[in-house]
Structure 1
């Protein structure tokens, strides 16, 4: 609804009162907060993800009679910041990462969600509020599994596929096994428009987590472990070896999109053997020549170091504490709602609700990824997503700088510069 603005002096008092009442009743339609029977949601989902979320919301509306107003935009982060600045935030909003959740919680913008935060890796949504007390301030709506290595079984040299599937495989074993192949050992692409570099941060995160363990990982994420520490430096050095053995060389990986890098596995002859990528990658493989299919043309193994998995995910926080918002937050983590994600959101969407069995996923590969997540002894959220924004941005930039020339002498300066950011972030 559009109401034309007129000078106040020509509006009779009764018209002014009518307009005030009209705006109050139409506030949710204009993007403002909802009420007891309405709840607003701001998110970044469009396309298939928006349709899946819409199916979840439709069930909620039928069960509760509460009307959900969803606004989907790829600029959700900027829109949220603007609405908070103006003092009119949505009731709930999808957040890009735990770093944003922690910043909003510390500033007092978010309200605790209590027992609604549950399931696998629920600690990812725990943050310190303005009073310093740590509480659950959000929920993970859906997750992606990061600690995966993909391969094309039919094109691997004899015995390598079996070696990959050996539960006792270590990172050193894997690095040695692929170093002698005729094709480049690793597919790697770091380009992603303004976010270029993050595939390299995923590499370093997995290497640190699996080589040095969750305690070192947690200390690093929280800023207590220096970037120049032996644990962090080793992860970067191993990543440097991956870069030197990657298809396309140093310059090529800087210009290759992360979703296209793995296409080299399906070339004839193959350009690369293995691809380190998250559970979202099958959708990109399907765009390669021949339309490769999961389980037949490509498969995965966990990152060496069984029992430990890194994840990413979409989080939701509550910016206005209303009964309707609380009911929606509690519903979105329920078995009913999470099963809708599994069925409707497409490849790469995984639930952290332990009541969703792996058998509910649509194909053998996704069922095995879900089983890996459900059976993991240790689950950690993506490190760069959990760091303060300035630290994460410096990490991305450092990956690109190092990948351009992965020499040991340059690494010292890169890590020292990151430590300067750590001390201020």
Structure 2
């Protein structure tokens, strides 16, 4: 009995680790990173473990979202988890599942992980461990006439000018692939998000993402119509776009003659380009420009949230946000991962293409999360499906029906803020 009492006393004083989540010497983390990504994250964790003496038990699974929901239901969540979307972060914060973090991010884009808790207060509930930059237009400089290349790289390029340049490059200049093994349609949502943000501005974008701006409003409708012009000028027909995987959509840029000239895709696409026939090289065979218009950037991001607030977990969060830890991701050649920490400079990236993307991100006047990733799950799923419907039949009358249905869902869906 005396031994048991002594052990309980030591546990209560925090002088020994007594097992379970939230102990002073062990942290449990759940995430979706496996393979090379999992190795990179474990490398980040190993530095923390060495400096702090705290063990981190990381579980990586592609079913992380379902596993997390199950563990929360059972009352045994991990100390921290990498959330599938910013929308999940907002939902968990509103439900009181996430613990707020001290302060807010002062990095690129400001505090992108703020959310409203069950008490109505808006606070920071996570950190962006790594990001991908989505607002990019890719092209093959070797196959584009010099006159068009010069116009394309003008610093004040507008969307209308890009559309004109694309039309002069060929009758079907746009590469477009909407298929994905998990969720098809999202490459089209990326198009609409960029068009809305760059043409109508961040206020309209934020109102739309948060459910305050109707899908039938003119800014949203205009973005859909502009996307429709891309569909009409894309390689092949609607069936081609619907069945082509997003990672293979840009491969025809490297064919002779080119099957398409321009590809709208995030920083991650370079891994697919390098696998195309002929092994295309950055700078020589493919290059990029920022999405034209306002100095705005849409990003995708892996967000880590805390479910058990302990001193050890806070130390881990602080470590993962440091420039040293972030460089574990950004220093990998061709990884397509970017940091929002301003201490990670563009020169820290391993190749010229990544440095230019990092500069675009650092210089952006506005940074926003991917809109569909930020919306409630049911709204995001309907958005993906609506893109597929629209591409199959992009007539104006059909668009009215699609936007009307999306707006009806908006009015009956709760949007956590």
Q: Same fold (TM over 0.5)?
A: yes
Identify the match of residue 393 of structure 1 among 367, 372, 381. Answer: 381
Pair 1:316-2:316 in alignment: no
| Cα-to-partner distance string for 1:9-47 (whole Å, 9 max, x where unaligned) | xxxxxxxxxxxxxxxx9996xxx6241111110000011
Task: Select which of 62, 69, 94 maps to 1:74.
Answer: 62
2: distance between equivalents of 1:266 and 1:329?
42
Instruction: Output aligned runs, 1:229-308, within 5 Å.
Output: 229-308=217-296
CA distance in structure 2 between the aligned counterparts of 1:140 and 1:333, rounded to whole angstroms = 8
Structure 2 CA distance for aligned equivalents of residues 164 and 249 of structure 1: 26
Alignment map for 1:8-407 (pairs within 5 Å): 33-115=21-103, 117-182=105-170, 184-344=172-332, 346-407=334-395
CA distance in 1, matches of 2:391, 2:329: 36
Residue 261 of structure 2: SS of its match in structure 1?
strand
- Report the count of equivalent residues: 401
Q: Partners of 1:118 and 1:91 in 2: how far apart?
A: 24
Aligned residues of 1:183 and 1:270 also touching (Cα < 8 A): no
Contact 1:243 1:250 survives alignment (8 Å): yes
How far off is 1:181 after superposition?
A: 2.8
Partner secondary structure for residue 65 of structure 2 = helix
Give me the whole-angstrom Cα distance separating, in 1, the residues matched to 2:104 and 2:319: 8
Asked if the contact 1:111/1:137 (under 8 Å) is kept, the reply is yes
- Residue 392 of structure 1 aligns to a residue whose secondary structure is helix
For residues 131 and 182 of structure 1, the distance between their equivalents in structure 2, rounded to whole angstroms, comes to 56
Q: Is the 8 A contact 2:17 2:23 kept in 1?
A: no
Distance 2:156 2:104 in 1: 38
C-alpha RMSD of matched pairs (Å): 1.8
- Tell me the distance in 2 between the aligned counterparts of 1:287 and 1:392: 30
Question: Secondary structure, in 3 states, of the residue corresponding to 2:58?
Answer: strand
CA contact (8 A) 2:333 2:350 kept: no
- Counterparts of 1:290 and 1:388, CA distance in 2: 42
The offset of 1:306, in angstroms, is 4.3
Q: Where does residue 7 of structure 2 map in the other structure?
A: none
Match of 1:120, SS state, is coil
For residue 343 of structure 1, report the CA deviation from its aligned partner.
1.5
The normalised TM-score by structure 1 is 0.91
Return the alpha-carbon distance in structure 1 between the equivalents of residues 297 and 346 of structure 2: 16
Secondary structure (helix, strand or coil) at the match of 1:281 reads helix
Return 5+ residue gaps in structure 2 as ranges: 1-15
Determine if contact 2:108/2:341 at 8 Å carries over to the other structure: yes
Distance change >3 Å, CA 134–CA 116, structure 1 → 2: closer
Deviations, residues 283-315 of structure 1 (Å, cap 9, x unaligned): 000110000011111000000014111111100
